[in-house]
């Protein structure tokens, strides 16, 4: 082979001359430019072609010989020592069965979207600009210094004990929950908790009661486990009790997702009685009870549970920041050991250092103060968005009354949700759609408008763009 094809490849690499040459030769062999038993140029020749020293070429040849790519014999030269499958230049051949049935079902759901930050009206992100970064950095450095190598080993699949204790204390005080630290499990996300519970508690074909509309992440976790989701629509008291023989039910009693209704006490008691009679599980997703503005959130469903059928989830993605990847789950005592074992085969445990930093943040009282500040900030932003929608967009949009949250659901009075959402992209607006949150046919169209991460100016600018959106939509329809 002439060395000419090696030169462009060599120039694309980074690093020391020796490692660039090693990568170049490995790639040329892997891509079939250098074939089995082919003779390579002498080190003198290659050095002069590439403009590098002969010593470097000798060193690279020796390294690839030790890795098995090349063989060298004195007097004969240097040869390619391995045979790689030829690279197919034609159309790729589809493997006979690429994905499992479970994987195929999961891929139909399109995955979960992470909201870009900050962009009107992406939903689900807290205001990261208002986070106390300097304080977090100080606590991080101190914690790392104090823990040293203790934070570097493997940890408990159920979580770092001081964080489990701090979360238990917080939940008992702020959510009226009845739990001990041993019942608190720390996970990477609520999504991981849902996956874990689906894996542990559901068989293919089992019925799961799922709020309709409801949180897509939960629905996808259940569907991936092969469960059949039964739609549970809400009424004015919260999610209706229509799941008869479900093995498990997913509920957001504190703040219905996406409508925001808080479940009445009577309805909560009905659900608990049902779970007891059926010996079924209730997953209570307490995803944003920290952000109630008009009233205090009612106590968690778990606080009323006397028979150990409720598993409650919460996440630090909304209260601290999403990339922290920490969430918690409060387990009935009978599930603690099993959940730890399942986590140990999923991914072991959450990273120790972030858990330790978060524990410190809670123990030093910063979590409570941060929540207080964020509640005030988000409250004013929610009110601003609501007012603007009412003043400027009433013919088109109706805000669903909601006592809190990081986003506001607004239903469309007229117009096509999918078309409007697409048109909005051209204006730089992200409008998270309501109708995909229905497992069956959507009975309402609209958007879940995120406001918490936006400054007042960004909310006002976003609403003006919404006004422009509707006028363009009307013009296009003419």
Q: Does 215 engage in binding with ligand PLP (CB under 6 A)? A: yes
What number of other Cβ atoms are within 10 A of residue 381's Cβ? 23
Q: How far is the CB of 119 from ligand PLP (least distance, A)?
A: 15
Q: Which stretch binds ligand PLP (CB under 6 A): 92-100, 143-151, 185-193, 430-438?
A: 185-193
Q: How far is the CB of 295 from ligand PLP (least distance, A)?
A: 20
Half-sphere exposure of 210 (CA within 13 A, CB side): 26
Site string for ligand PLP, 223-262 (x = CB under 6 A): -----------------------------x----x-----
User: How far, in whole angstroms, is CA 466 from its chain's centroid?
Assistant: 28
Site string for ligand PLP, 111-130 (x = CB under 6 A): -------------x------
Q: How far is the CB of 401 from ligand PLP (least distance, A)?
A: 18
Q: How far is the CB of 4 from ligand PLP (least distance, A)?
A: 52
Binding residue for ligand PLP (CB under 6 A) from 285, 290, 305, 360? 285
Binding residue for ligand PLP (CB under 6 A) from 189, 302, 358, 445? 189
Q: Which stretch binds ligand PLP (CB under 6 A): 42-50, 183-191, 384-392, 470-478?
A: 183-191
Residue number, 126 or 155, with CB nearest to ligand PLP: 126
Q: Hey, which residues between 296 and 335 contact ligand PLP (CB under 6 A)?
A: 315, 317, 322, 327
Q: Which stretch binds ligand PLP (CB under 6 A): 51-59, 145-153, 189-197, 263-271?
A: 189-197
Residue number, 21 or 339, with CB nearest to ligand PLP: 339
Q: How far is the CB of 114 from ligand PLP (least distance, A)?
A: 9
Residue number, 78 or 312, with CB nearest to ligand PLP: 312
| Measured distance CA(282)–CA(301) in Å, rounded | 9
Residue number, 215 or 274, with CB nearest to ligand PLP: 215
Residue number, 123 or 359, with CB nearest to ligand PLP: 123
Residue number, 211 or 305, with CB nearest to ligand PLP: 211
Q: Which residues contact 383 (CB under 8 A, 6 or more apart)?
A: 293
Binding residue for ligand PLP (CB under 6 A) from 56, 143, 191, 409? 191
Q: How far is the CB of 441 from ligand PLP (least distance, A)?
A: 22
Which residue bears the tokens 């390579």?
Answer: 40
Number of chain positions touching ligand PLP (CB under 6 A) = 14
Q: Hey, which residues between 29 and 58 contact ligand PLP (CB under 6 A)?
A: none
Binding site for ligand PLP (CB under 6 A): 124, 189-191, 215, 217, 252, 257, 285, 287, 315, 317, 322, 327
């Amino acid at each position: 082979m002439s060395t000419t094809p090696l030169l462009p490849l060599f120039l694309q690499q980074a690093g020391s001359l020796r490692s660039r040459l090693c990568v170049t030769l490995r790639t040329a062999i892997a891509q079939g430019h250098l074939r089995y038993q082919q003779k390579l140029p002498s080190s003198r020749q290659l050095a002069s072609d590439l403009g590098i020293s002969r010593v470097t070429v000798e060193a690279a040849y020796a390294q690839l010989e030790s890795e098995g790519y090349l063989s060298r014999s004195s007097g004969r030269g240097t040869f390619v020592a391995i045979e790689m499958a030829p690279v197919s230049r034609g159309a790729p051949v589809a493997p006979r069965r690429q994905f499992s049935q479970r994987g195929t079902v999961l891929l139909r759901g399109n995955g979960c979207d992470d909201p870009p930050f900050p962009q009107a009206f992406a939903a689900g992100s807290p205001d990261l600009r208002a986070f106390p970064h300097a304080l977090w950095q100080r606590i991080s450095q101190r914690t790392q210094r104090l823990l040293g190598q203790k934070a570097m080993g493997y940890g408990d699949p159920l979580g770092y004990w001081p964080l489990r204790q701090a979360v238990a204390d917080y939940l008992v005080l702020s959510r009226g929950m009845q739990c001990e630290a041993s019942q608190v499990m720390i996970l990477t996300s609520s999504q991981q908790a849902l996956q874990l519970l689906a894996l542990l508690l559901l068989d293919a074909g089992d019925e799961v009661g799922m709020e309709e509309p409801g949180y897509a992440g939960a629905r996808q976790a259940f569907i991936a486990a092969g469960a059949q989701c039964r739609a549970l629509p809400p009424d004015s008291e919260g999610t209706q009790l229509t799941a008869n023989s479900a093995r498990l039910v997913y509920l957001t009693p504190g703040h219905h997702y996406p409508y925001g209704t808080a479940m009445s006490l009577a309805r909560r008691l009905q659900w608990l009685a049902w779970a007891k009679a059926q010996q079924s599980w209730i997953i209570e997703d307490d995803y944003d009870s920290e952000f109630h503005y008009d009233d205090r959130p009612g106590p968690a469903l778990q606080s009323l549970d006397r028979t150990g059928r409720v598993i409650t989830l919460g996440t630090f993605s909304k209260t601290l920041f999403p990339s922290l990847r920490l969430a918690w789950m409060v387990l009935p005592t009978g599930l603690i050991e099993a959940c730890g074992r399942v986590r140990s085969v999923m991914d072991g445990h959450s990273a120790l250092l972030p858990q330790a930093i978060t524990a410190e943040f809670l123990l030093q009282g910063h979590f409570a103060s941060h929540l207080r500040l964020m509640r005030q900030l988000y409250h004013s932003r929610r009110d601003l968005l609501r007012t603007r929608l009412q003043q400027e967009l009433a013919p088109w949009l109706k805000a669903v009354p909601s006592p809190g949250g990081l986003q506001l659901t607004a239903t469309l009075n007229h117009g096509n949700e999918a078309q409007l959402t697409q048109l909005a992209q051209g204006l730089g607006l992200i409008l998270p759609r309501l109708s995909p949150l229905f497992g069956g046919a959507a009975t309402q169209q609209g958007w879940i408008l995120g406001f918490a991460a936006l400054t007042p100016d960004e909310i006002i600018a976003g609403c003006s763009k919404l006004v422009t959106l509707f006028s363009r939509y009307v013009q296009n329809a003419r």
